[in-house]
Chain A
Amino acid sequence: MENSNSLLNDLLKKLQEALDEYNCKSETHVTDKEALLSGKFSYYKERYTVMIHVKDQDFNPLPDGAGKFLKDDAEILKFIPSLEHQFQNAQKSNCSHEEQTALKTKFMTLAEEAGREFLTKMNK
């Protein structure tokens, strides 16, 4: 990285010196991976622009990036809202499975008692 920076700075400095001979005032911008030189000048009433882009051959910046900030936490994973696992929370609804089962059992006991009482009355 240091070598690359030094090379790019040195190269642009030499290019600027060459452009100075044509009265071209130029600006440079150097990063670790690339360097830019831009300038404008006139020569016999014609106007010219100069753009020089030097970069590491393998440096191909993409117009997008993404990153994960935190590791997945197994403890948290089971609580994240999910369209797939919503049924796991079904027992927490207004009338839970346990409550519904208890209500059904209570009614069945009542119904059996009523049935027995009915049969007893029928047999009398």
Chain B
Amino acid sequence: MPTLSNYWFQETDFRGNTTYASTPHPAGGWAWVNWSNIGDKHSTLCWEREDREVTYDLVSLLNNPAVLNLIDNNLGGSANRTSALRVGWVPRKYLPYSSSGGPLDLFLRMSFDFHISTPWYCSDADGHIDYILVCYLDGGGRLNGYVDGWAYHYDGGGPFCTGEISSRLSAAVPGAIGTLQQQLTTFLSLLGRQQFDMLYYLPGSAQKTGSGNTNVDNSVSLALLPR
């Protein structure tokens, strides 16, 4: 039985706080969703989900000790991670760097918060580090992925330490990409024999029934249609 999932986003271009509802329905029959009050929402999406769909909640998948240790080791003494990993989608037009292609091409943003302690004459710094990932199916229907870019932002570090902090982060954050790419390639190669017809992302944990709230900037699932 196919499932219709309906998503309402607080921001335009399918971003921010997301209200969802999923309803299984007979093929060729109506699928209906009653919204008593959808509130302050500015974009919406619907997806008709096939029975063969396989989903992976990327937040659950990536918040495992192996991945977290990898990230912490790469940060070294540059910063301390202070949150779990968030994995959301980001349309190309909202990437933190310029990138050519369709403005609504979807990238994954893996992000986490950090803290940097400073000497007594500066305030400590708190911020977040983002890695931008791309997943796609090649012409043969095989899953591929790569790390496309990075970003960081923080508050604090004043009045004298922002130069030192930015310098350390500008070296450490892109410096970890090689290790991340290596692990991503290893993981994807395990699925190398399987071919898929389609890859797409779904907000939150990709529930097939019921309704709820999530934030698509921080939580998405990877969905695949095996061939």
Contact = CB atoms under 8 A, between A and B. Distances in A.
A61 B162 contact: yes
Interface string A40-63: 000000000101010100010111
Nearest to A71: B100
Interface in A59-102: 59, 61-70, 72, 76-77, 79-86, 89, 92-94
B200 A81 contact: yes
Contacts of A55: 163
B197 interface: yes
A57 to B, nearest CB: 13
Interface string B131-156: 00011111100001011111111111
Contacts of B155: 63
Contacts of B225: 92
Given A69-B149, A83-B45, A63 B127 contact: yes
Interface size class of chain B, counting residues whose CB lies under 8 Å from the partner chain: 35 or more
Contacts of A68: 97-99, 148-149
Interface stretch (A1-9, A26-34, A103-111, A113-121): A26-34
A77 B104 contact: no
Interface in B63-109: 91, 96-107
Nearest to B201: A81
Contact of A72 (B101, B104, B147, B199): B101
A16 interface: no
Given A61-B162, A68-B149, A84 B198 contact: no
Contacts of A29: 164
B197 A92 contact: yes
Contacts of B188: none
B101 A83 contact: no
Interface in B186-202: 197-201
A63 B136 contact: no
Contact of B135 (A34, A81, A94): A81
Given A72-B100, A79-B137, A92-B198, A53 B160 contact: yes
Nearest to A63: B154
Interface of B: 14, 45, 50, 91, 96-107, 119-121, 125, 127, 134-139, 144, 146-157, 159-160, 162-167, 169-170, 173-174, 177, 197-201, 225
26 contacts: A31-B163, A31-B167, A34-B163, A51-B121, A61-B162, A62-B166, A63-B127, A64-B151, A64-B152, A65-B170, A66-B150, A67-B97, A68-B97, A68-B99, A68-B149, A69-B149, A70-B147, A72-B101, A77-B102, A80-B134, A81-B105, A81-B199, A81-B201, A84-B104, A89-B198, A92-B225
Query: Which 3 pairs of residues, A with B, have the shortest CB-CB distance?
Result: A66-B151, A66-B96, A84-B104
Given A29-B164, A69-B147, A80-B102, 13 more contacts: A36-B160, A61-B167, A63-B155, A65-B170, A66-B97, A67-B97, A68-B97, A68-B98, A69-B174, A69-B177, A77-B102, A82-B106, A93-B50
